[in-house]
């Protein structure tokens, strides 16, 4: 509910809401999710979303985001500017109300914006409440206006700063409150850059500039990036497919604007074996899918099958291609704009509007067959790819049946190599996937056999990015893994059948270990994504160093910890573990396995898009791109969130 009434005159009910910013400071989590890094970045999204709303309404064309040297953030847009006129009843400037009132936002009047970003839309006032200082500057009505706040409270009235006949717009500077964000107020350039790039793709023609003016040791010049995509989603798909081999040259693009809703779609098939479909509603990434994706899938399956039949590529007696066959290797971005979005699901990222399912389906039923006819030689290649996928699926099914019988999956048998735990309560059960010949022994001895199971994995398991599932299922390591976890894979995946609620990858800290880790994560991401989404997948953190001071032994995770330790004990000698196998059972237990003393990293693919890109680059064919990526991201494994 908006805190203001429809005709934007304020009454007593609204006045009580004016006290609302105290509530935001008391329970920030209610408004921004958390006061950790995610909540902190939410402040930026909130201000940027307001500026993007101005762009979507057709007024702003450029947004500048600057990370200031003193820890603040500046967001400039060239929209209409937040209104400053004084409301007769409250005798307050609209600017003061927008920034000082909970939920007032910019959307007083129905129809001020056709559509607007939904999820973050808690209002700039929330940012104001959670900032130790916020300065607003508005350029409109012939002047520059300014007002400053501290922790949501105005420090002054709206001041007329100087005449201004040039462009209109809004500038918001804010400094997050260290009393609220007690862990850290450091903004992450890459996180912000990723989101701004995404926004620029989603809003074709909108120029977004990100500048980092903060001073780091290695960095002297401000770092700056400009995002402006004239091709919109088409450019987005090209970008995602840049490390993949397209099956056909043209990216399919469909755009529709009706009075009620808008649809933009871009897609292209590649020679890979996985689907990369990403959807958005009102600029928000709908990780959990929803009605727009459902409408898309239905129309796509129909259109491809109909085309295949009329061209005789699929014979009368042959079965229809399944949706899964059709989507193999497909990269697609679906973006809808909806007047009143309904977000559902665990993380409120599933679009619920039922009318959107039929809207998307209707538009695509009209345009997809048109495209396929017009580019019929490309369409034929697409269908051939789908038919190959169908044959491979049939082969995979057979292979799966065989592995099922072989592994005794149907009789509930478990892999011989698995040292299972005795508890049957998945909530307390943990599975350690242990790489390296010599580590399995100590891990089995060092575990708590009631709650901890150990599955040794030998050799490098198959790179699933380059192989179809049928092939992957010939690999005993993979079959053992699937059997032990219990959920099944792909279509048959069922989270409720997970035998462990922690699946922990334990690999050496060296290059080989990191390769195995990536291979395992790729497999889990592609075929058991639900396990990662549920937060069940972890990385163990074995130490890299052992140091002795007198008779006391310390374990240090990495070079940073060692350097820190050496400040206190400059002369200390450290021995480096070459592999997990060098640790005895007790050492492994204390440092890595025992819940009382270990640390785990939870694997988080909240941002499936970034992960998708990451995996296709890390595991795909383009060696040069992979090298470049690793050089640039050696220390930045973004899909991991502690």
Task: Please list the active-site residues.
Answer: 435, 508, 510, 512
Of 14, 54, 177, 198, which lies in the binding site for ligand 0RA, with binding defined by CB under 6 A? Answer: 54
Which among 50-58, 362-370, 384-392, 465-473 is the span making contact with ligand 0RA, rule CB under 6 A?
Answer: 50-58
Q: Is 77 in the site for ligand 0RA (CB under 6 A)?
A: yes
- Residue whose CB is less far from ligand 0RA, 48 or 314: 48
The secondary structure of 28-89 as a DSSP string is HHHHHS-SSHHHHHHHHHHHHHHHHHHHHTT---EEEEEE-TTS-EEEEE-SS----PEETT
Rounded least distance, CB 499 to ligand 0RA, Å: 50
Residue 124 CB, nearest approach to ligand 0RA (Å): 6
Report if residue 336 touches ligand 0RA, rule: CB under 6 A. Answer: no
Both structure tokens of 480: 């053992």
Distance in Å, CB of 171 to ligand 0RA, minimum = 9
Output 108 or 525, the one with its CB closest to ligand 0RA.
108
Q: How far is the CB of 168 from ligand 0RA (least distance, A)?
A: 8
CB nearer ligand 0RA, residue 170 or residue 305: 170
117 makes contact with ligand 0RA (CB under 6 A): no
280 close to 334: Cβ distance less than 8 angstroms:
yes
Q: How far is the CB of 65 from ligand 0RA (least distance, A)?
A: 12
**Residue for token digits 């529709």?**
256
Instruction: Assess contact for 187 and 170: CB atoms under 8 A.
Output: no
Site string for ligand 0RA, 136-175 (x = CB under 6 A): ----------------------------------x-----
Q: How far is the CB of 136 from ligand 0RA (least distance, A)?
A: 9
C-alpha 156/C-alpha 159 separation (Å) is 8
Task: Give the residue among 227, 201, 3, 215 at the shortest CA–CA distance from 100.
Answer: 3
Quote the CA–CA distance of 92 and 87 in Å, as a whole number: 6
Is residue 80 part of the contact set for ligand 0RA (CB under 6 A)? yes
Residues 6+ apart with CB under 8 A from 328: 273, 274, 275, 385, 386, 389
> How far is Cα 24 from Cα 26, in angstroms, rounded to an integer?
5
Among 79, 123, 289, 488, binds ligand 0RA (CB under 6 A): 79
**Residue 4 CB, nearest distance to ligand 0RA (Å)?**
11
Rounded to a whole number of angstroms, the minimum distance from the CB of residue 8 to ligand 0RA is 10
Contact 19, 129 (CB under 8 A): no
Stretch that binds ligand 0RA, among 78-86, 154-162, 391-399, 570-578 (CB under 6 A): 78-86
37 binds ligand 0RA (CB under 6 A): no
Contact indicator for 226, 324 with CB cutoff of 8 Å? no
| Least spacing, CB of residue 105 vs ligand 0RA, in Å | 7
Q: Out of 67, 98, 122, 382, which residue is the one contacting ligand 0RA (CB under 6 A)?
A: 98
Token duo for residue 459: 């050799």
| Residues in CB range of 548: below 8 A, 6 or more apart | 554, 572, 573
Quick one: which of 28, 37, 72, 106 contacts ligand 0RA (CB under 6 A)? 106
Strand segments (E) across 302-443: 330-338, 343-344, 350-351, 430-435
| Closest to ligand 0RA by CB, 170 or 276 | 170
Closer by beta carbon to ligand 0RA, 100 or else 436: 100
Helix (H) or strand (E) run with residue 522 in it: helix 511-527
Q: Does residue 82 touch ligand 0RA according to CB under 6 A?
A: yes
> Does 298 participate in binding ligand 0RA (rule CB under 6 A)?
no
For ligand 0RA, the closer CB: 119 or 505: 119
Shortest separation between residue 82's beta carbon and ligand 0RA, angstroms: 4
Handedness of CA 88, 91, 97, 99 (dihedral sign): positive
47-55, 293-301, 315-323, 408-416 -> range binding ligand 0RA (CB under 6 A): 47-55
Which pair of tokens denotes residue 384? 């051939």
Q: Does 83 bind ligand 0RA (CB under 6 A)?
A: yes
Token representation of residue 548: 């002795």
533/489 Cα distance (integer angstroms): 14
Residue 112 makes contact with ligand 0RA by CB under 6 A: yes
Q: Give me the least distance between CB of 280 and ligand 0RA, in Å please.
A: 21
**Nearest of 145, 151, 147 to residue 133 by alpha carbon:** 151
106/543 with CB nearer ligand 0RA: 106
What is d(CA 494, CA 504) in angstroms, rounded to the nearest whole number?
Answer: 19
Of 83 and 100, the one with the shorter C-beta distance to ligand 0RA is 83
Q: Per CB under 6 A, which region of 49-57, 173-181, 293-301, 401-409 contacts ligand 0RA?
A: 49-57
- Measured from the CB atom, the residue of 56 and 421 that comes closer to ligand 0RA is 56
Q: How far is Cα 415 from Cα 73, in angstroms, rounded to an integer?
A: 54
Helix (H, G, I), strand (E, B) or coil at 245: coil
Quote the least distance from Cβ 48 to ligand 0RA, whole Å.
9
d(CA 628, CA 642): 25
- Does residue 402 bind ligand 0RA (CB under 6 A)? no
Q: Which stretch binds ligand 0RA (CB under 6 A): 2-10, 48-56, 409-417, 622-630?
A: 48-56
| Run of H or E residues at 385 | helix 376-406
Which residue has its beta carbon closest to ligand 0RA? 106
- Residue 332: both structure tokens together: 């697609």
Q: Does 51 sit near ligand 0RA (CB under 6 A)?
A: yes
- CA dist., res. 148 & res. 142, Å (int): 20
Q: Nearer to ligand 0RA by C-beta: 80 or 197?
A: 80
- How many residues line the site for ligand 0RA (CB under 6 A)? 13
**Can you spell out the DSSP letters for 532-576?**
HHTT-EEEE---SEEEEETTEEEEE-SHHHHHHHHHH-TT--EEE
How far apart, in whole angstroms, are the C-alpha atoms of residue 360 and residue 104?
32
Site for ligand 0RA contains 295 (CB under 6 A): no
For residue 181, the SS3 value is coil
Q: Could you tell me which stretch among 74-82, 318-326, 418-426, 508-516 binds ligand 0RA (CB under 6 A)?
A: 74-82
Rama region for 623: left / alpha / beta (φ>0; ψ in -120 to 50; rest)? alpha
**Residue 50, interface with ligand 0RA (CB under 6 A)?**
yes
For ligand 0RA, the binding residues (CB under 6 A) are: 50-51, 54, 77, 79-80, 82-83, 98, 106, 112, 124, 170
């Amino acid at each position: 509910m908006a805190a203001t009434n429809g005709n934007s005159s304020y009454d007593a009910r609204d006045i009580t809401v004016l006290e609302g910013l105290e509530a935001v400071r008391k329970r920030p989590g209610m408004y921004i999710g958390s006061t950790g890094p995610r909540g902190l970045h939410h402040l930026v999204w909130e201000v940027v979303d307001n500026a993007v709303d101005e762009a979507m309404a057709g007024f702003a064309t450029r947004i500048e985001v600057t990370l200031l040297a003193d820890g603040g953030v500046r967001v400039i847009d060239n929209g209409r500017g937040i209104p400053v006129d004084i409301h007769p009843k409250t005798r307050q400037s609209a600017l003061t109300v927008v920034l000082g009132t909970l939920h007032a936002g910019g959307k007083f009047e129905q129809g001020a914006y056709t559509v607007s970003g939904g999820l973050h839309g808690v209002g700039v006032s929330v940012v104001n409440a959670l900032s130790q200082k916020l300065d607003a500057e508005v350029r409109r009505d012939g002047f520059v206006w300014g007002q400053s706040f501290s922790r949501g409270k105005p420090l002054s009235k709206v001041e007329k700063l100087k005449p201004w006949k040039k462009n209109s717009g809004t500038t918001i500077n804010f400094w997050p409150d260290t009393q609220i964000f007690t862990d850290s107020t450091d903004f992450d350039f890459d996180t912000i850059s990723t989101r701004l790039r995404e926004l620029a793709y989603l809003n074709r023609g909108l120029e977004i500039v990100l500048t980092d003016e903060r001073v780091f040791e290695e960095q002297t010049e401000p770092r700056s990036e400009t995002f402006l995509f004239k091709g919109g989603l088409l450019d987005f798909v090209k970008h995602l497919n840049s490390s993949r081999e397209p099956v056909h040259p043209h990216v399919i693009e469909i755009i529709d604007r009706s009075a009620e809703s808008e649809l933009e779609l871009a897609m292209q098939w590649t020679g890979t074996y996985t689907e990369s479909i990403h959807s958005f509603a009102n600029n928000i990434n709908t990780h959990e899918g929803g009605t727009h994706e459902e409408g898309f899938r239905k129309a796509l399956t129909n259109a491809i099958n109909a085309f295949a039949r009329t061209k005789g590529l699929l014979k009368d007696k042959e079965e229809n291609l399944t949706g899964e066959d059709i989507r193999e290797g497909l990269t697609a971005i679906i973006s809808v704009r909806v007047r009143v979005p309904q977000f559902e699901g665990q993380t409120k990222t599933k679009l619920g509007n039922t009318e959107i399912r039929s809207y998307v389906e209707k538009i695509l039923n009209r345009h997809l067959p048109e495209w396929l006819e017009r580019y019929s030689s490309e369409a034929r290649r697409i269908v051939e790819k789908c038919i190959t996928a169908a044959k491979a699926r049939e082969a995979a099914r057979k292979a799966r049946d065989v592995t099922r019988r072989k592994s005794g999956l149907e009789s509930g048998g478990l892999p011989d190599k698995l040292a299972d735990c005795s508890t049957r309560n998945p909530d307390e059960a943990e599975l350690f996937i242990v790489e390296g010949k010599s580590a399995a022994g100590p891990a089995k001895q060092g575990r708590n056999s009631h709650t901890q199971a150990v599955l040794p994995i030998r050799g490098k398991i198959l790179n699933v990015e380059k192989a179809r599932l049928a092939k992957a299922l010939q690999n005993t390591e993979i079959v053992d893994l699937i059997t032990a976890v219990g959920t099944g894979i792909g279509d048959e995946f069922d989270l409720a059948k997970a035998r462990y609620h922690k699946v922990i990858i334990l690999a050496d800290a060296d290059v080989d270990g990191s390769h195995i880790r990536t291979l395992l994560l790729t497999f889990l991401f592609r075929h058991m994504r639900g396990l990662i989404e549920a937060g069940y997948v972890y990385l163990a953190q074995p130490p890299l160093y052992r140091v002795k001071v007198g008779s006391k032994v310390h374990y240090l995770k990495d070079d940073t910890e060692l350097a820190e330790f050496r400040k206190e004990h400059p002369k200390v000698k450290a021995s480096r573990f070459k592999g997990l196998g060098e640790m005895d059972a007790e050492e492994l237990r204390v440092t890595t396995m025992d819940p009382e003393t270990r640390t785990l990293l939870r694997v988080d693919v909240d941002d499936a898009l970034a992960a998708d890109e990451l995996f296709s680059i890390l595991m795909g064919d383009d060696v040069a791109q992979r090298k470049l990526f690793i050089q640039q991201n050696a220390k930045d494994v973004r899909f991991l969130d502690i």
